[in-house]
Protein backbone atom coordinates (compact mmCIF):
# COMPACT_ATOMS: atom_id res chain seq x y z
CA UNK A 1 0.00 0.00 0.00
CA UNK A 2 2.88 2.42 0.69
CA UNK A 3 3.99 2.68 -2.98
CA UNK A 4 0.37 3.39 -3.85
CA UNK A 5 0.20 6.16 -1.24
CA UNK A 6 3.40 7.69 -2.62
CA UNK A 7 1.87 7.66 -6.09
CA UNK A 8 -1.27 9.39 -4.84
CA UNK A 9 0.80 12.01 -3.03
CA UNK A 10 2.66 12.79 -6.24
CA UNK A 11 -0.66 13.23 -8.00
CA UNK A 12 -1.80 15.52 -5.20
CA UNK A 13 1.16 17.86 -5.72
CA UNK A 14 -0.15 18.49 -9.22
CA UNK A 15 -3.42 19.91 -7.84
CA UNK A 16 -2.35 23.11 -6.00
CA UNK A 17 -5.72 24.75 -6.63
CA UNK A 18 -7.39 22.27 -4.30
CA UNK A 19 -5.15 23.25 -1.40
CA UNK A 20 -5.50 26.98 -2.11
CA UNK A 21 -9.28 26.71 -1.93
CA UNK A 22 -9.09 24.63 1.25
CA UNK A 23 -7.03 27.37 2.94
CA UNK A 24 -8.49 30.58 1.51
CA UNK A 25 -12.17 30.06 2.35
CA UNK A 26 -11.66 28.98 6.01
CA UNK A 27 -9.11 31.77 6.49
CA UNK A 28 -11.54 34.44 5.29
CA UNK A 29 -14.26 32.90 7.44
CA UNK A 30 -11.93 32.97 10.45
CA UNK A 31 -11.25 36.67 10.02
CA UNK A 32 -15.00 37.24 9.87
CA UNK A 33 -16.04 35.03 12.78
CA UNK A 34 -13.49 36.47 15.18
CA UNK A 35 -15.48 39.70 14.96
CA UNK A 36 -18.81 38.05 15.83
CA UNK A 37 -18.42 38.25 19.59
CA UNK A 38 -21.77 40.03 19.86
CA UNK A 39 -23.44 36.97 18.35
CA UNK A 40 -21.62 34.26 20.30
CA UNK A 41 -21.36 36.15 23.58
CA UNK A 42 -17.63 35.37 23.82
CA UNK A 43 -14.88 37.85 24.55
CA UNK A 44 -12.39 38.57 21.77
CA UNK A 45 -9.67 36.20 22.99
CA UNK A 46 -12.09 33.34 23.53
CA UNK A 47 -13.74 33.91 20.16
CA UNK A 48 -10.36 33.94 18.41
CA UNK A 49 -9.37 30.60 19.94
CA UNK A 50 -12.76 29.02 19.44
CA UNK A 51 -12.96 30.15 15.79
CA UNK A 52 -9.40 28.96 15.16
CA UNK A 53 -10.41 25.39 15.97
CA UNK A 54 -13.76 25.72 14.17
CA UNK A 55 -12.31 27.04 10.93
CA UNK A 56 -9.32 24.69 10.99
CA UNK A 57 -11.76 21.79 11.28
CA UNK A 58 -13.96 23.34 8.59
CA UNK A 59 -10.98 23.71 6.26
CA UNK A 60 -9.71 20.19 6.90
CA UNK A 61 -13.11 18.66 6.17
CA UNK A 62 -13.46 20.72 3.00
CA UNK A 63 -9.99 19.66 1.85
CA UNK A 64 -10.60 15.94 2.24
CA UNK A 65 -14.05 16.11 0.64
CA UNK A 66 -12.74 18.06 -2.34
CA UNK A 67 -9.86 15.65 -2.78
CA UNK A 68 -12.17 12.66 -2.65
CA UNK A 69 -14.48 14.18 -5.26
CA UNK A 70 -11.64 13.65 -7.74
CA UNK A 71 -12.53 9.96 -7.68
CA UNK A 72 -15.23 10.75 -10.22
CA UNK A 73 -12.46 11.60 -12.70
CA UNK A 74 -10.46 8.53 -11.69
CA UNK A 75 -13.50 6.42 -12.40
CA UNK A 76 -14.20 8.04 -15.76
CA UNK A 77 -10.65 7.43 -17.06
CA UNK A 78 -10.64 3.84 -15.83
CA UNK A 79 -8.06 4.31 -13.07
CA UNK A 80 -10.18 2.58 -10.44
CA UNK A 81 -10.71 -0.42 -12.70
CA UNK A 82 -6.95 -0.66 -13.19
CA UNK A 83 -6.46 -0.64 -9.42
CA UNK A 84 -8.94 -3.49 -9.13
CA UNK A 85 -6.54 -5.57 -11.27
CA UNK A 86 -3.66 -5.04 -8.84
CA UNK A 87 -3.03 -7.22 -5.74
CA UNK A 88 -4.30 -4.37 -3.54
CA UNK A 89 -7.56 -5.39 -1.81
CA UNK A 90 -10.37 -2.77 -1.77
CA UNK A 91 -9.81 -1.94 1.92
CA UNK A 92 -6.15 -1.03 1.29
CA UNK A 93 -7.02 1.09 -1.74
CA UNK A 94 -9.62 2.97 0.31
CA UNK A 95 -7.22 3.43 3.24
CA UNK A 96 -4.51 4.58 0.84
CA UNK A 97 -6.86 7.20 -0.52
CA UNK A 98 -7.78 8.16 3.03
CA UNK A 99 -4.14 8.60 4.06
CA UNK A 100 -3.50 10.77 1.01
CA UNK A 101 -6.56 12.85 1.81
CA UNK A 102 -5.12 13.44 5.29
CA UNK A 103 -2.17 15.18 3.65
CA UNK A 104 -4.57 17.77 2.24
CA UNK A 105 -6.16 18.26 5.68
CA UNK A 106 -2.87 19.21 7.31
CA UNK A 107 -2.45 22.34 5.17
CA UNK A 108 -5.54 24.27 6.35
CA UNK A 109 -4.97 23.15 9.94
CA UNK A 110 -1.47 24.65 9.98
CA UNK A 111 -2.57 27.73 8.05
CA UNK A 112 -5.45 28.54 10.42
CA UNK A 113 -3.37 27.95 13.55
CA UNK A 114 -0.66 30.21 12.12
CA UNK A 115 -3.20 32.92 11.25
CA UNK A 116 -4.69 32.75 14.74
CA UNK A 117 -1.28 33.45 16.26
CA UNK A 118 -0.23 36.11 13.75
CA UNK A 119 -3.53 37.99 13.41
CA UNK A 120 -5.28 37.56 16.75
CA UNK A 121 -2.41 36.74 19.07
CA UNK A 122 -3.78 33.37 20.16
CA UNK A 123 -1.37 31.99 22.73
CA UNK A 124 -1.46 28.38 23.93
CA UNK A 125 1.00 26.22 25.79
CA UNK A 126 3.31 24.04 23.65
CA UNK A 127 1.56 20.93 24.92
CA UNK A 128 -1.79 22.29 23.76
CA UNK A 129 -0.47 22.96 20.26
CA UNK A 130 1.07 19.47 20.16
CA UNK A 131 -2.34 18.01 20.92
CA UNK A 132 -4.60 20.30 18.87
CA UNK A 133 -2.79 19.98 15.54
CA UNK A 134 -2.74 16.14 15.51
CA UNK A 135 -6.35 15.99 16.72
CA UNK A 136 -7.51 18.25 13.90
CA UNK A 137 -5.33 16.45 11.37
CA UNK A 138 -5.92 12.77 12.13
CA UNK A 139 -9.50 13.41 13.26
CA UNK A 140 -10.45 14.32 9.68
CA UNK A 141 -10.03 10.69 8.56
CA UNK A 142 -13.74 9.79 8.91
CA UNK A 143 -14.64 12.66 6.59
CA UNK A 144 -12.02 11.56 4.09
CA UNK A 145 -13.65 8.12 4.00
CA UNK A 146 -17.09 9.70 3.67
CA UNK A 147 -15.81 11.73 0.73
CA UNK A 148 -14.33 8.62 -0.89
CA UNK A 149 -17.67 6.87 -0.65
CA UNK A 150 -19.49 9.81 -2.20
CA UNK A 151 -16.82 10.23 -4.88
CA UNK A 152 -17.12 6.59 -5.88
CA UNK A 153 -20.91 6.60 -6.05
CA UNK A 154 -21.72 10.05 -7.45
CA UNK A 155 -21.66 11.22 -11.04
CA UNK A 156 -19.68 14.14 -12.44
CA UNK A 157 -22.89 16.21 -12.36
CA UNK A 158 -23.90 15.38 -8.80
CA UNK A 159 -20.63 15.05 -6.88
CA UNK A 160 -20.06 18.77 -6.23
CA UNK A 161 -23.64 19.59 -5.13
CA UNK A 162 -23.69 16.45 -2.99
CA UNK A 163 -20.35 17.29 -1.38
CA UNK A 164 -21.47 20.87 -0.74
CA UNK A 165 -24.72 19.73 0.86
CA UNK A 166 -22.91 17.28 3.14
CA UNK A 167 -20.11 19.75 3.88
CA UNK A 168 -22.30 22.70 4.83
CA UNK A 169 -24.95 20.59 6.56
CA UNK A 170 -22.50 18.81 8.84
CA UNK A 171 -20.50 22.01 9.48
CA UNK A 172 -23.47 24.19 10.43
CA UNK A 173 -25.33 21.57 12.47
CA UNK A 174 -22.12 20.42 14.14
CA UNK A 175 -21.33 23.87 15.51
CA UNK A 176 -18.39 24.82 13.29
CA UNK A 177 -19.95 28.09 12.19
CA UNK A 178 -21.63 29.06 15.45
CA UNK A 179 -21.53 27.40 18.89
CA UNK A 180 -24.32 24.91 19.48
CA UNK A 181 -25.52 27.06 22.39
CA UNK A 182 -26.73 29.78 20.01
CA UNK A 183 -28.43 27.39 17.57
CA UNK A 184 -32.10 26.37 17.89
CA UNK A 185 -32.58 23.74 20.57
CA UNK A 186 -33.62 20.93 18.24
CA UNK A 187 -30.66 21.59 15.93
CA UNK A 188 -28.21 21.72 18.84
CA UNK A 189 -29.56 18.41 20.15
CA UNK A 190 -28.89 16.78 16.78
CA UNK A 191 -25.56 18.51 16.38
CA UNK A 192 -24.09 17.07 19.58
CA UNK A 193 -24.12 13.60 18.00
CA UNK A 194 -22.68 14.57 14.64
CA UNK A 195 -19.07 13.68 13.75
CA UNK A 196 -18.25 17.33 13.05
CA UNK A 197 -19.05 18.35 16.62
CA UNK A 198 -17.16 15.45 18.19
CA UNK A 199 -14.18 16.16 15.91
CA UNK A 200 -13.95 19.85 16.77
CA UNK A 201 -14.94 19.44 20.42
CA UNK A 202 -11.85 17.35 21.14
CA UNK A 203 -9.65 20.26 20.04
CA UNK A 204 -11.86 22.92 21.65
CA UNK A 205 -11.51 21.21 25.01
CA UNK A 206 -7.73 21.07 24.72
CA UNK A 207 -7.59 24.71 23.60
CA UNK A 208 -9.43 25.78 26.76
CA UNK A 209 -7.39 23.69 29.17
CA UNK A 210 -9.32 20.43 29.21
CA UNK A 211 -8.98 17.04 27.53
CA UNK A 212 -11.00 15.17 24.88
CA UNK A 213 -13.95 13.31 26.38
CA UNK A 214 -14.65 9.63 25.94
CA UNK A 215 -18.00 10.57 24.41
CA UNK A 216 -16.35 12.61 21.65
CA UNK A 217 -13.86 9.87 20.86
CA UNK A 218 -16.52 7.15 20.78
CA UNK A 219 -18.83 9.32 18.67
CA UNK A 220 -16.13 9.90 16.08
CA UNK A 221 -15.19 6.20 16.03
CA UNK A 222 -18.86 5.27 15.72
CA UNK A 223 -19.15 7.40 12.58
CA UNK A 224 -15.84 6.07 11.25
CA UNK A 225 -17.29 2.55 10.91
CA UNK A 226 -20.18 3.35 8.51
CA UNK A 227 -18.08 5.87 6.58
CA UNK A 228 -15.42 3.18 6.02
CA UNK A 229 -18.08 0.70 4.94
CA UNK A 230 -19.53 3.28 2.54
CA UNK A 231 -16.09 3.95 1.05
CA UNK A 232 -15.33 0.25 0.52
CA UNK A 233 -18.79 -0.40 -0.90
CA UNK A 234 -18.50 2.61 -3.20
CA UNK A 235 -15.07 1.54 -4.45
CA UNK A 236 -16.22 -2.01 -5.14
CA UNK A 237 -19.33 -0.81 -6.94
CA UNK A 238 -17.49 1.83 -8.98
CA UNK A 239 -15.17 -0.78 -10.48
CA UNK A 240 -17.98 -2.88 -11.89
CA UNK A 241 -20.98 -0.59 -12.49
CA UNK A 242 -22.08 2.94 -13.23
CA UNK A 243 -22.50 5.67 -10.64
CA UNK A 244 -25.74 5.69 -8.69
CA UNK A 245 -26.01 9.19 -7.18
Give the range among 16-20, 30-34, 65-69, 139-143 with minimum mean pLDDT: 16-20
CA distance to 43, 61, 135, 146, 238, per residue, from 64 (Å) = 32, 5, 15, 9, 19
Q: How confident is the model at residue 243 (pLDDT cuts 50, 70, 90)?
A: very low
Q: Evaluate if residue 38 carries a pLDDT over 60.
A: no
Whether 180 and 191 have beta carbons less than 8 Å apart is answered as yes
CB half-sphere exposure, 177, CA atoms < 13 A? 11
Q: Evaluate if residue 153 carries a pLDDT over 70.
A: yes
CA distance 173 to 168: 8
Give the range among 5-9, 147-151, 229-233 with minimum mean pLDDT: 5-9
pLDDT computed for residue 100 by the predictor = 80
pTM (2 d.p.): 0.85
pLDDT computed for residue 101 by the predictor = 80
Mean per-residue pLDDT, 63-82 = 74
Q: Evaluate if residue 242 carries a pLDDT over 50.
A: no
The string of pLDDT tens digits covering residues 154-209 is: 887 888 889 889 999 999 999 998 889 888 989 999 999 999 999 999 999 999 99
CA distance 183 to 186: 8
b/e sequence 40-74, b meaning 16+ C-beta within 10 Å = bebeeeebbbbbbbbbbbbbbbbbbbbbbbbbbeb
Residue 232 carries which DSSP code?
H
CA distance 42 to 40: 5
Residue 217 carries which DSSP code?
H
Percent over 90 (pLDDT), the chain: 40
pLDDT computed for residue 61 by the predictor = 94
Amino acid sequence: MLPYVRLELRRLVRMPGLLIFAVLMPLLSYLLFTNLTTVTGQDQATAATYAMVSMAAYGAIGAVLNYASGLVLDRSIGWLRQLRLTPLPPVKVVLGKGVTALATALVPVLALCGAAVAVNGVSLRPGQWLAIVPLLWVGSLPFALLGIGLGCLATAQTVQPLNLLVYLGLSIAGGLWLPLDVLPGWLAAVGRWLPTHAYADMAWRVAFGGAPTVTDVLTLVAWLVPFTALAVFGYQRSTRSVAVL
